[in-house]
């Protein structure tokens, strides 16, 4: 069997993992949930969840990945024995399911990027989005996204994923920072910030807001489906995994927060509030482009920067999703990376076609795989590390982490708060499938 890939440097690993985490979910999902769920109060709640749920699970994934040096299915077998191997398959199915809708949204993003470049976005952005989001054009855009993703994967861990992440992530940070500075100059900036961050405690104590924040944090950090296990399996040595998890979680959260500082000034400046409350997707692909168009030539430049940032964010997340599926084929079936990349990518390209024909299907896949599957995976991982594979996990963490007391705190969270909160979140995520399914059937 071919030798496994590995990262060229710790920084390369961290940039790749941040690239996997920072995605479409950050640039819109977070700000949207915050605006609907109590502004600054939501932000505080979200930070608590990132710290007390996201960080422990992320650390658990990194510990499993580095210790086993295996892709999710084999890693679950190595850590939990035969009785846990199925969980690895659940991860692979989640990766398949998420990428099959994610790549469709990535396609919409790419389409708007090209149209802003060429200056051909029509004034009626709502009708335009309706036309490009479903049908042959959406299929082509989805396939192009999958093709780029496959090319990166088959390039290898170091020469493909790491090289792309090391170049694209700094570019992404610069683009987002530039957008935030530009947005601050808009006359709508003040009211936009005020709305985004208005501390409204009455919203925060709703079960929906609370479980929504937990679900959003999980999706945003790419947890519960083995993406972080897979990336950490290419690590060696004795680095401080808790610190690395902290850097990844912090970067992801900062980008999500700054994303809101970009979008809300735009919405208020151009008076797009009504369209935004309809749906997150509508805001991103209909309201924001309309705002840019009203600025003329300057708006075209901003449109290019905005959709380029979005595309980069989506691409690096897509790469981490495909890597979960491909690495399972490489490790479990002994396939070459080329073969695994093309077969997995090809299958997901086909599996994504229904989403390119119906955006209700995209919504359904997000709720099923992006919420239910991930949160379920998180519950299982917490129980596995908290109760079954605890001693080895502790020892692996302590290799690079000098505090036994904090390690105990980590295990305590994985035994108690994390699975309980995630089980409640799971319950509401399953309930939320109802409306999505009826939208699909209507």
Rounded Cα distance between 32 and 269, Å, is 17
Q: How far apart are the first and last CA of the chain?
A: 50
Which segment (48-56, 120-128, 216-224, 241-249) binds ligand PHE by CB under 6 A?
216-224
Residues 78-137 that bind ligand PHE (CB under 6 A): 98
Per DSSP, the chain holds a count of helices (H) and strands (E) of 27, 0
Which segment (15-23, 38-46, 201-209, 300-308) binds ligand PHE by CB under 6 A?
15-23
| Residue with smaller CB distance to ligand PHE, 251 or 300 | 251
Rounded Cα distance between 186 and 266, Å, is 8
Which segment (37-45, 218-226, 242-250, 424-432) binds ligand PHE by CB under 6 A?
218-226
| Residue with smaller CB distance to ligand PHE, 71 or 300 | 71
Closest approach of Cβ 254 to ligand PHE, in Å? 13
| Residue with smaller CB distance to ligand PHE, 224 or 386 | 224
Which segment (18-26, 78-86, 151-159, 172-180) binds ligand PHE by CB under 6 A?
18-26
Q: What number of chain residues touch ligand PHE (CB under 6 A)?
A: 15
| Residue with smaller CB distance to ligand PHE, 5 or 29 | 29
Residues 20-79 that bind ligand PHE (CB under 6 A): 20-21, 23-26
Angle between helix axes 374-383 and 404-415 (nearest 10 degrees) is: 120
The DSSP string of 150-217 is HHHHHT-IIIIIIHHHHHHHHHHHHHHHHHHHHHHTSTTHHHHHHHHH---HHHHTSHHHHHHHHHHH
Burial of 306 (0-12, 13-18, 19+ CB in 10 A): buried
Residues 293-322 that bind ligand PHE (CB under 6 A): 317, 320-321
Q: Which segments of 212-280 are extended strands (E)? A: none
| Residue with smaller CB distance to ligand PHE, 121 or 161 | 161
* In 270-358, alpha helices (H): 273-278, 280-282, 288-293, 297-333, 337-351, 353-357
- State the DSSP H helix or E strand holding residue 93, giving kind and residue range, or none if neither: helix 85-118
Q: Would you give the DSSP letter of residue 82?
A: G
| Residue with smaller CB distance to ligand PHE, 94 or 141 | 94
Rounded Cα distance between 338 and 334, Å, is 12
Closest approach of Cβ 20 to ligand PHE, in Å? 5
Closest approach of Cβ 409 to ligand PHE, in Å? 26
| Residue with smaller CB distance to ligand PHE, 149 or 300 | 149
Which segment (38-46, 122-130, 215-223, 297-305) binds ligand PHE by CB under 6 A?
215-223
* Closest residue to ligand PHE using C-beta atoms: 23
Say whether 368 sits in a helix, a strand or coil: helix
Residues 222-261 that bind ligand PHE (CB under 6 A): 222, 225, 227
Rounded Cα distance between 308 and 357, Å, is 24
Closest approach of Cβ 346 to ligand PHE, in Å? 20
Check residue 367 for interaction with ligand PHE (CB under 6 A): no
Closest CA to 215 of 321, 207, 16, 64: 207
Closest approach of Cβ 70 to ligand PHE, in Å? 18
On whether the CB atoms of residues 61 and 381 are closer than 8 A, the answer is: yes
- State the DSSP H helix or E strand holding residue 158, giving kind and residue range, or none if neither: none
Closest approach of Cβ 108 to ligand PHE, in Å? 14
Applying CB under 6 A, the residues found at the interface with ligand PHE are 20-21, 23-26, 98, 219-220, 222, 225, 227, 317, 320-321
């Amino acid at each position: 069997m071919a030798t496994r890939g590995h990262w060229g440097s710790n920084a390369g690993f961290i940039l790749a993992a941040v690239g996997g985490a920072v995605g479409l979910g950050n640039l819109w999902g977070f700000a949207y949930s915050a605006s609907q769920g109590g502004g600054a109060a939501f932000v505080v709640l979200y930070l608590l969840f990132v710290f007390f749920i996201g960080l422990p699970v992320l650390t658990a994934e990194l510990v499993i990945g580095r210790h086993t040096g295996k892709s999710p299915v084999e890693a679950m077998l190595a850590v939990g024995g035969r009785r846990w191997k199925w969980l690895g398959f659940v991860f692979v199915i989640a990766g398949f399911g998420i990428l099959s809708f994610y790549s469709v949204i990535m396609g919409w993003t790419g389409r708007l990027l090209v149209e802003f470049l060429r200056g051909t976005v029509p004034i009626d952005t709502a009708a335009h989005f309706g036309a490009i989001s479903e049908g042959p054009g959406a299929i082509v855009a989805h396939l192009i996204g999958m093709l780029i993703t496959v090319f990166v994967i088959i390039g290898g861990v170091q020469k493909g994923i790491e090289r792309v992440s090391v170049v694209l992530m700094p570019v992404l940070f610069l683009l987002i920072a530039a957008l935030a500075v530009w947005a601050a100059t808009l006359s709508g900036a003040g009211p936009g910030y005020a709305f985004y961050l208005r501390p409204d405690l009455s919203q925060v104590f709703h079960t929906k807001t609370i479980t929504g924040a937990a679900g959003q944090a999980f999706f945003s950090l790419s947890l519960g489906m083995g993406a972080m296990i897979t990336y950490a399996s290419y690590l060696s040595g004795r680095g401080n995994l808790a610190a690395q998890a902290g850097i990844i979680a912090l970067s992801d959260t900062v980008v999500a927060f700054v994303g809101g500082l970009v979008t809300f000034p735009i919405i208020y400046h151009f008076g797009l509030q009504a369209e935004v409350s309809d749906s997150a997707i509508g805001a991103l692909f209909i309201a924001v482009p309309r705002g840019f168009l009203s600025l003329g030539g300057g708006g075209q430049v901003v449109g290019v920067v905005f959709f380029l940032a979005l595309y980069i964010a989506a691409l690096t997340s897509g790469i981490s999703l495909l890597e979960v599926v491909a690495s399972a084929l490489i490790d479990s079936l002994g396939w070459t990376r080329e073969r695994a990349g093309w077969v997995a990518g090809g299958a997901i390209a086909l599996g994504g076609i229904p989403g390119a024909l119906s955006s209700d299907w995209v919504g359904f896949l997000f709720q099923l795989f992006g919420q239910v599957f991930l949160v379920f995976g998180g519950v299982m991982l917490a129980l596995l590390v908290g109760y079954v594979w605890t001693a080895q996990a502790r020892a692996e963490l302590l290799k690079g982490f000098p505090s036994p007391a904090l390690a105990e705190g980590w295990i305590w969270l994985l035994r108690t708060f994390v699975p309980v909160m995630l089980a409640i979140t799971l319950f509401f995520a399953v309930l939320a499938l109802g409306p999505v399914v009826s939208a699909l059937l209507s």
